[in-house]
Amino acid sequence: MATTELHPALAEIRDDFLELSLKDRLQLLLEFSNELPELPERYSEHPDLFEKVVECQSPVFIFVEVDENQIVHLFATAPKESPTTRGFASILAQGLGGLTADEVLAVPDDYPQMIGLSQAVSPLRIRGMTAMLGRTKRQVREKTAVK
């Protein structure tokens, strides 16, 4: 079976996590959480555009933009009281943002299981991130199909 090379942006995030102890991985996840950017103004007034990721324990909303160069931008918003969910969203926003639509679609669905968080966070919680990735890819598919 052919294995596709993981995109460098995602490989770097994975390696950053894997070289840490379990405890420090949580700390790095918290840093990601704190780095989740505020929504750009053009979207902050439009909650209607966002899709709720119902599989996540905490309310998180994502919105995917594919620009004219087929570059993907991922926007996400989750409450401050949900740092883990924010962290997951931030990893995806940083890891997927700037990739082409094809590159995003090629990301393995089990990427969330590759970054060494299952044990630190629990497999149950990781499912939320898997769901976010799945929804992101679906939105990319929908948005590239219309064009």
Partner 1 sequence: MAVETDTTPKFAEYAHPNRLVSTDWLAEHLGDTDLVVVESDEDVLLYETGHIPGSVKIDWHTDLNDPVTRDYIFGEEFAVLAGSRGIDRNSTVVIYGDKSNWWAAYTLWVFSLFGHEDVRLLDGGRDKWIAEGRAITTDVPEITPVEYPIAERSDVEIRAFKDDVIDHLNVGGTLIDVRSPEEYSGERTTAPAYPEEGALRAGHIPSAHNVPWAKAAAEDGTFKPLADLNEIYREGLGLDDADDVIAYCRIGERSSHTWFVLTHLLGFEGVRNYDGSWTEWGSAVRVPIVQGAERGEHVVK
Stretch that binds partner 1, among 11-19, 48-56, 107-115, 134-142 (CB under 8 A): 48-56
Q: Please say whether the beta carbons of 89 and 51 come within 8 A.
A: no
Sign, CA dihedral 34-39-45-51, equals: negative
Residue among 12, 27, 29 nearest 129 (CA): 29
Closest listed residue to residue 142, CA positions, set 105, 96, 115: 105
One character per residue 10-39, x = contact with partner 1 (rule: CB under 8 A): ----------------xx-xx--x------
Contacts of partner 1 in 102-141 (CB under 8 A): 119-122, 124-125, 127-128, 131
3-state secondary structure of 76: strand
Q: Which is nearer to partner 1, 58 or 100 (CB)?
A: 58
Q: How far is the CB of 121 from partner 1 (least distance, A)?
A: 5
Least distance between partner 1 and beta carbon 86 (Å): 9
Outline where 41-100 has alpha helix (H). 41-44, 83-96
49-108: which residues touch partner 1 (CB under 8 A)? 52, 54-59, 80-85, 87
- List, edge to edge, every strand of the sheet that includes 61-66: 51-52, 61-66, 72-77
Q: Nearer to partner 1 by C-beta: 28 or 96? A: 28
Interaction site with partner 1 (CB under 8 A) = 26-27, 29-30, 33, 52, 54-59, 80-85, 87, 119-122, 124-125, 127-128, 131
